[in-house]
Amino acid sequence: MTVRGSSGEGVPYLVRACEDAMSRVRSGYYSSAWELATTRRRLLDSLRSRVSVIAELKPRSPTAGEIRSVDDPRALIARMIEGGADAISVLTVPGDFGGRPEYLRAASESGVATLMKDFVVSRAQLEFAARAGASAVLLIARAFRLGLCELELNGTIGEAHDLGLEVLVEVYRSDDLDYAIRTDADLIGVNSRDLETLDLNPERARAIVAQVPEGERWRTVIESGIGCRSDIEPFLEMGVNKFLVGTAVMRAQDPASAIRAIKGE
């Protein structure tokens, strides 16, 4: 594997994040003694609501800093589910995101579908997700196009499927969209945040969605920048009804109420 780019001043955030992920792989961060989960909920099958919300367990972010202290992840996850979360996304990235491997295990044991969010660069992370009981993993199209991962994107999707995992392929630039749609991904994520600059631009996300063929919008998930019901309305009008919501839910005094408000319940 050849990684183009190295950590340092001016290096895009995505490059540094993927290099850090590879270091975690080599350090054994994704190793665990958990038995391989034999049953798991299907993520795509779980996103059947009129407005489907994937609520995200994310204690920190590189742009917002500390968001919420997670002393009891199981209680927080239960509250999200009570509020109508159709699935749970879990950041397993430490440091900037405050993630921990055990958060994913706790979410998977809650009985809902779960998405592992990380900078996936290695099969070792897929194996970890499978052992933790995750339903799906997120793969960032740009990371593969930049040569930051061990395998090609289609190969990684195939490896994930072999392990019983679904795949959400994420794009945040329009020139990655066709690349993502042509894969065997189960879901396509459109991120309002550019992972190289960390710039947030919902209008850019809407422009990307406009390029998604109408026949593919049913499996499209909008990520980042969703704080309230009005933020999802433009996407609903475009035929997209699946949303990943992290900071707004984690920052809310009552995560359940925040989820209900976004769903319009």
* Catalytic positions, written as ranges: 56, 58, 117, 170, 191, 223-224
Can you read off the two tokens belonging to residue 189?
């994520």
CA 133 to chain centroid: 15
Which residue from 154, 204, 207, 159 is spatially nearest to 181, judged by alpha carbons? 154
CA 250 to chain centroid: 15
